[in-house]
Amino acid sequence: MSFQSRKQKAADEQLRKVALLVQTASDWSRQVLRGVANYAHEQGTWDFFIEPRGFYENLTLPRDWSGDGVIVRLTHAGLIRSIRQRKIPAVNVSWLGKHSQTVPKVVSDEAACGKLAAQHFLNKGFRCFGYVGPVKELGYADVLGKQYGLTLKESGHTCDQWIPQAARTDSQLRNRRQQLIRWLSRLQHPIGIFVWDTATGREITSVCSDLNLSVPDDVAVLCGEHDPLISSLARVPLSNLDQAPMRVGYEAAALLDRIMRNENVPEEPIRISPIGVVQRQSSDTASLTDPLVAKAMTFIRDHFRGPIQVVDLEKTLDVSRRMLEHRFQRSLGCTPAAEIRRTRLEFCKRMLLESDLPIAAIAAQSGFNHPEVMIRAFRRELGVTPSQFRRSR
Domains delineated in the chain: 3-108+245-275 (3.40.50.2300), 110-243+278-283 (3.40.50.2300), 291-392 (1.10.10.60)
Backbone phi, psi, residue 171, to 5°: -65, -40
Residue 37 CA to residue 47 CA, distance in Å, equals 10
Closest CA to 336 of 298, 366, 309, 355: 309
Question: Which residues of the chain, if any, have pLDDT below 50?
Answer: 1, 3-12
Backbone phi, psi, residue 257, to 5°: -60, -40
Which pLDDT does position 145 carry in this prediction? 97
Which pLDDT does position 6 carry in this prediction? 43
To which H or E segment does residue 388 belong?
A: helix 386-392
Give strand pairing partners of 221.
193
Closest CA to 382 of 346, 337, 339: 346
Determine the number of helices (DSSP H) and then strands (DSSP E) in the chain: 16, 12
Which pLDDT does position 330 carry in this prediction? 85
Which pLDDT does position 13 carry in this prediction? 52
Pairing of strands 219-223, 239-242: parallel
Residue 239 CA to residue 225 CA, distance in Å, equals 9
**Left if phi > 0, otherwise alpha if psi is -120 to 50, otherwise beta: which for 292?**
alpha
